[in-house]
Amino acid sequence: MDDRSAKRTTPGEFINQVKAEANKVVWPTRQETVTTAIFVAALMVILAVFFLGVDSLFGALVKWLLSLA
């Protein structure tokens, strides 16, 4: 089937379809957004401290190995 023979959507129909789909979106509440943001921030801090420790450990290990040479 040729793509040109398919019915084309008019700009007005497109806008109406976009509005219909936007109305189906379930937006989070303010409380859900705040809770998620706090959770993400806490995990970022935990992971940053973890990777700082791992990086420091490997840095000290490499420094010790280089001091043996």
Reduce the secondary structure of 7-53 to three states and give it as a string: CCCCHHHHHHHHHHHHHHCCCCCHHHHHHHHHHHHHHHHHHHHHHHH
Neighbours of 4 (CB within 10 A): 6
Range of the domain at 50: 29-69
Q: Tell whether the model's pLDDT for residue 3 goes beyond 70.
A: no
Distance of CA 13 to the CA centre of its chain: 32
Task: Give 40-60 pLDDT, tens digit per residue.
Answer: 999 999 999 999 999 999 999
What is the pLDDT averaged over residues 28-51? 98
- In this prediction, residues 14-28 reach a mean pLDDT of 95
The pLDDT of 9-21, averaged and rounded, is: 94
Number of domains in the chain: 1
| pTM score, whole prediction | 0.62
Residue 52 located in a structural domain: yes
Mean pLDDT of the chain: 93
In a domain, 53, yes or no: yes
